[in-house]
Amino acid sequence: MTYAENILETIGNTPLVKMNKITAEIDALVLAKYETFNPGNSVKDRMALKMLKEAEANGLIKPGGTIIEGTSGNTGMGLALAAIVKGYKMLCVMSDKQSKEKMDILKAVGSEVIVCPTDVAPDDPESYYSVAKRMAREIPNSWYVNQYDNLANSKAHYESTGPEIWKQTDGKITHFVVGVGTGGTISGVGKYLKEQNPNIKIWGIDTYGSVFKKYHETGEFDENEIYPYVTEGIGEDILPKNVDFSVIDGFTKVTDKDAAIYTRKLAREEGFFLGNSAGAAAKGLLQLKEHFTKDDVVVVLFHDHGSRYVGKMFNDDWMKQHDFL
């Protein structure tokens, strides 16, 4: 008989799926690394389990303890599943721009959810970064995950996601495209792929209101680049330690409107029911099309599932309120 010992053993080995209609104007073969096939419906399951295993090995959390993390939702879900299997409590601290579905899903799997304002500086006591750190100081036998600076994040993708993509493309991949938030995925996958073939190009998808693109191009952390944005899961107003700019060849920025519209287009034209960052990545692919030739193999990674955005990007009223329709 073939079966997994628990749900965590089903993480990884997600399929590559050819894109057809949306990428019709791109000469290259475009393949989607479809991460919603993970049990928590996102790429974050990989690094959540890796970070927890390393914390256990280093004695950072004891049996019955509490996992605490500031999350946009997906890392929280991955950690929540691991917490259930391993017998921990889960406390998720989120910003109020995240979808209600994400908050409800986390509660459904037994997590406590604390919501903080989005429009404050990272070092503000009310920011979700600050609140998560404070809770970790106050709650006994707790572990603050800190996915932004915890290098087990990028290590997970170096050990699993990168090798999977290399094997699935038979080493023929020429470009890797992915949205950048904590930086773990692009840095881990990028490092692995460039070790196999340094000519592979690694492209990050950024959003307006985030510092990544300008910092990569100029080395300047420009606070004037920072302002609130709607797109979830990508972009930052900080520089996480997981972002290894040396393996990234470039960034392209996608507007909130384009990200939302292309999230819907993926569902209606490809049958890809995916999250907001996938829409940004799809539009980013089209913005980068002059970099691809007919002989290229482009892999774009899609992070999470459309069920987390039913009240937002997939809701006509919400789209009209934001002037996206």
Question: CA 140 to CA 324: how far, in whole Å?
Answer: 45
CB 73 within 8 A of CB 45: no
Catalytic pick among 44, 50, 194, 201: 44
Nearest Cα residue to 196 out of 179, 178, 172, 177: 172
Question: CA 272 to CA 316: how far, in whole Å?
Answer: 18
110: left (phi over 0), alpha (psi -120 to 50) or beta: left
Question: CA 43 to CA 305: how far, in whole Å?
Answer: 10
Angstrom distances, CA of residue 325 to CA of 99, 300, 320? 19, 26, 5
Angle between helices 44-57 and 74-86 (to 10 degrees): 50
Angle between helices 256-265 and 276-287 (to 10 degrees): 100
283 catalytic? Reply is no
Q: Given the DSSP bridges, would you call strands 16-18 and 29-34 parallel, antiparallel or unpaired?
A: antiparallel
**Residue 139: Cβ-neighbour burial (10 angstroms; 0-12, 13-18, 19+):** middle
Question: CA 70 to CA 94: how far, in whole Å?
Answer: 6
Nearest Cα residue to 248 out of 168, 122, 154, 171: 154
Catalytic positions: 44
